[in-house]
Structure 1
């Protein structure tokens, strides 16, 4: 009997449950589809362990987003409860106990949640099949063996999240019924939330204060940047500054919306011809009356939209930068680096004691470069097995080269001969964001001999350079923000003093295509000065890094080259003949590994950005929809009075449309404004590694999100139209 009653209630109040059902269905669809990433990755990716990693990350993120959706569903359910309190009171008047009413509510919630689960899973299964192609596109790979799949783990995660949302919603519903008195339930439709209409002048002042605070926060953020830009010793202070800026913009946003309706009311009252036209007065009074209930939620929604827009735009733009950067920075089939101990590590008794205690060899300054090809033979493949053998690069490489870079600090000196901040001062340009604590400032630019650079250019198939006796070049692949300073220094003919040798530039710009010495996803050369060989020899600059790069012999298979390099092996320490150490192994990267890691990182960033953005946008849109439907239900009596006074239905609905447009559009505009300012700072940081472009895929993705947001607005208006029409119809019936 109770089930039949619950089923009938769900069918009868379908309009009330529509937003709840739609949002929950979308949540289930997205939760399931995105949590099949591990299955999709198995189809499109060959990288071992990556599908499992992606699955773990997505399941953890889903739990977080499910909490957000849980609060959303409670908010949505509040609207339904508000509309049906009189009905639940009537059940009790007719003899049903509170327990029976609670069971009816539980059954109704279970029916709605079950319908959302079934519909969402069906849509999710279909959507996930198409997402396989999207995944292949994000990770820049081919689909190996496409087939229909159904993911039990994704289903369990989705069901778990939905069950948690169901119980949270149910507890809220039961609490409302158990706490409320029958008289309160029966008179619920005659009670409105208490509101206080503030003085329009006071509201205008609050609005202006909020706008000023937002402007101050924008200025502080653009001036101070993100804490990542601070030097290690200043990080705590920078974080406090950033937290303060965040607090200012949050409070400013709340005050902005709190005073917005009053400010708008005061402004329109000044324009009397507009204020008294049609239902403008009624519309503004309605907006002003809701200031207590919507100002805080509109501020929070604008901040959530800001997070959604920034995560999508920033994340996917960073992925685009990595795609561009990897093309420029991947220079050979195989690359390897050796890093030398610097002069600052010597004459440190504590360091020597620690190394001795831990069993490490004593260190000494390298007097000449190590032969990476030769010392690589000290790496042992399959160590401790019958197949043990030395790592022999020579048998798989055809063309190869090794170059050295030197420290720009002379022995016993702490100040570098040439640095990024010195060049920036010379051309009167500020340091880019994120470089305050970079090696190019603290340790100076690296130095390379002209002969090494020409051998590097010959390996790359590029024309050699001629510096003459007193020329110099700068090589850097770090990105446009740093590149602008180097280009300006070269273009303006800035001279540099290298230990009494005054050098002048022989080119007017940095050649980024000839600046990478190691395979990397992002730029790794923050700045290298190319000088005549004699300068390095005369100054006795200490070795900093040796870079080795080589291309595989033609005709060798993947297993003979890439498979050989990836075999398990020990690296060990780099020991001199006298038992000391002068260097340690740096990184090793092949062309394929670099592209694979970049594609994997790009795919992961894009996935997370789209997933977070979509769920947050749906959450914001649903909150606004429920909020507005609740407001229309409360003000339906006012609409009926307007109709009785002779106002046409068209004018009433236009007033409703204007109110709802303001509530939907202004949080979005504020969120976009916050995002544009934040992205300016993000762009400056990302520009260290390459130019950031906000377009293409980002624009398409944001368009889809805005379409979803607009879809909720349309649903809101259509449902509101039905509520108002029902209220007006009651007037005609009487």
Structure 2
């Protein structure tokens, strides 16, 4: 009997459960589809361990987002319970116990949740098949063996999250029924939330104060930037300032919405012809009456939308920058670097190791030294790592520290070059090598050998020429370009040098395979000046291309074998250098593609769930408000107001409640992204478009879809209220 009653209630109250069912179905669909990432990755990725890593990250994120959705579902039940309190009270009047009423509610919630689970899993399974192609696109790879798949792990994860949401919702619903008295349930539809109207002048002042605080926060963020832009000694102070800025913008956003309706009321009252036109007075008064209950939630929604928009736009754009950067900075099939000890290491008084340290006097031969790496050490297959056997053309070049031996200050630094052309330091460089250690120095002969390897023409510096190389982004290179264009002179080795080029050749500035660039600034000078300046060795870079005719296993597979890397020791047993990084062209692209795919997945997943959460909260909030104002709509109808005019007033109110948080979230995002762009510009230009535009359009379509559902359901509630009155 109770099951039949619960099923009948769900069918009869379908409109009330529509938002709940829609949101829960979307949640199940997204939870399942994104948690199949490990299965999708198996179809498109060959990188060992990556599918498992992606799966574990998505699992943890799903649990977090499920908590968010759980609170959302509790909020959704406020609307459903408010609409049905009288019904539950009537059940008790007719003789049902509270326990029986509770069981009916539990069955109703289980039916709706079960329906959402079934529908969401079906949609999720279909969506996950399509997402496989999207995954392959994100990771820049091919689908190896596409076939229909179903992921039990993703299914059980989704079911577990849904069960948790169901239990939280059920506990809340049962608590409402058990605590409420019958008289309160029966009179629930006649009790509206207490509304306290504020003086419009006070509200306008609060609105202006909130706007001022938001402006101050914007100014502080644009001026100070992100904490990553600070030197290590200033990071704590910078973080404190950043948190203060965050607090200011949150307070400003709350005050903005808290005073918004009063400001609109005061502004429209000043424009009397507009204020008294149609139902404008009623509309503005309705907005003002709701400010008590919705101002804080609108502020929170705008901040959540800000996070969603920023995560999607920022994440996808950073992925785009990485794609551009890896194309520019990956220049050889194989690359390796050796780093030389500086004076701070050699003269470190705390060093207690057995191997003595000393400054290098000559660069090492990386090709020959690589033979000291042993493949399959300790086995019968033990053999030296033979680069010469797999490489054709290759080159080794050296860079030197621009701080002469016995000194602490560099001869050439980014700070000095920026000051010479009266330009500010780029965001994010206060703790970089180009700022603290100065530019690296390279001999002209080394650079010309590098150009030979790259198939480019030699440079001729003459006796007093220099040029600067850098594979970083526009924010750094524009300073170098300005210096060379304006003929800024540099003192080195007792000689005044002048630029022989007017811009950085970014296509001939990378000395190592790197996804995000590795040369923050290297000045190329005549050979004799390096020795005359007493500059110590900093690093040796080795680049090589595989010999033609060799297979993947003979080249890339050979390089990727496990090897033992022994210390680099001098003939006297001292140490002057250590092995640095090793990277192949394929590894650089794989690393970039994997990182891009991960960033894109997280951005889209987080963004979609947060947008759905915000849209659902606004929908439920507005439906509850329309339900409360049903009496007002009946009065307007009795006074001769047409239903069309009443619904136009409802539409205007709901448009304001949906659009204003979105506009505020977009405004916050634009300012935040401006700062992010400044930092990301260190590695390349950041473009907000393309895939980002399509993704944001999909999210906005979802947001707009909830708005449309809100209006359609509100229209039904208003028509029911008016029809009820006419029937009486």
| TM-score normalised according to structure 1 size | 0.99
Equivalent residue, structure 2, for 1:707: 701
For residue 298 of structure 1, give the secondary structure of its aligned residue in structure 2. helix
* CA distance in structure 1 between the aligned counterparts of 2:465 and 2:224, rounded to whole angstroms: 37
Q: Residue 193 of structure 1 aligns with which residue?
A: 193
1:271 aligns to 2:289 (yes or no): no
Q: Does 1:183 align with 2:165?
A: no
Q: Give the match's secondary structure for 1:198.
A: coil
Native 8 Å contact 2:493 2:530 kept in 1? no
Q: Say whether 1:154 aligns with 2:146.
A: no
Matches within 5 A, 1:556-705: 556-705=550-699
Q: Which of 372, 377, 380 is the aligned partner of 2:366? A: 372
List aligned pairs for 1:125-274, cutoff 5 A. Answer: 125-274=125-274
Structure 1 CA distance for aligned equivalents of residues 678 and 691 of structure 2: 21
Any unmatched runs of 5+ in structure 2? none
**SS of 1:349's equivalent?**
coil
User: How many Å separate the matches in 2 of 1:429 and 1:285?
Assistant: 53
State whether structure 2 residue 724 is matched by structure 1 residue 733.
no
Question: Residue 553 of structure 2: SS of its match in structure 1?
Answer: coil
Name the counterpart of 2:100. Answer: 100
1:383-462 to 2 correspondences below 5 Å? 383-462=377-456
What SS does the aligned partner of 2:285 have?
helix
Structure 1 gaps of 5+ residues are none
Taking the aligned partners of 1:38 and 1:112, their CA distance within structure 2 comes to 29
Q: Deviations over 1:636-681 (max 9, x none)?
A: 1100110011000000000000000000000000000000000000
Q: Aligned-pair distance for 1:343?
A: 1.5
CA distances 1:624-645 after superposition (whole Å, capped 9, x unpaired): 0000000000001100110011
Q: CA RMSD in A?
A: 0.6
Q: Distance in 2 between matches of 1:383 and 1:112?
A: 62
Q: Contact 1:342–1:542 (CA<8 Å) still a contact in 2?
A: yes
Query: Which digits, 9 at most, give the CA deviation of each residue in 1:228-281, with x for residues without a partner?
Result: 111111000000000000000000000000000000000000000000000000
Q: 524, 527, 534: which is aligned to 2:521? A: 527
Could you tell me which residue of structure 1 aligns to residue 471 of structure 2? 477
SS at match of 1:709: helix
Distance in 1 separating the partners of 2:406 and 2:683: 32
Q: Counterparts in 2 of 1:103-114, with a 5 A limit?
A: 103-114=103-114
Verify: 1:297 aligned to 2:297, yes or no. yes
Distance 2:55 2:568 in 1: 39
Aligned residues: 728
CA distance in 1, matches of 2:347, 2:57: 46
Give 4+ residue runs of structure 1 displaced > 6 Å after superposition.
none
Q: Give the CA deviation at 1:119.
A: 0.2
Distance 2:179 2:566 in 1: 71
Per the alignment, in what secondary structure is the counterpart of residue 493 of structure 1?
coil
Aligned partners of 2:418 and 2:479 also within 8 Å: yes
CA distance in 1, matches of 2:387, 2:347: 36
TM-score, length basis structure 2: 1.00
Contact kept, 8 Å, 1:417 with 1:499, in 2: the verdict is no
Q: Once the 2 structures are TM-superposed, how far is the Cα of residue 348 of structure 1 from its aligned partner?
A: 2.4
Q: Aligned residue for 1:499? A: 493
Find out whether 1:90 has 2:90 as its counterpart.
yes
1:497·1:503 contact (CA, 8 Å) conserved in 2?
yes
Partner-residue secondary structure (3-state), 2:335: strand
Q: CA deviation at 1:511?
A: 0.4
Aligned counterparts of 2:7 and 2:524: Cα–Cα separation in 1: 79
Cα separation, 2, equivalents of 1:372 and 1:582: 14
Displacement of 1:30 after TM fit? 0.3
Separation in structure 1 between the aligned mates of residue 426 and residue 193 of structure 2, nearest angstrom: 52
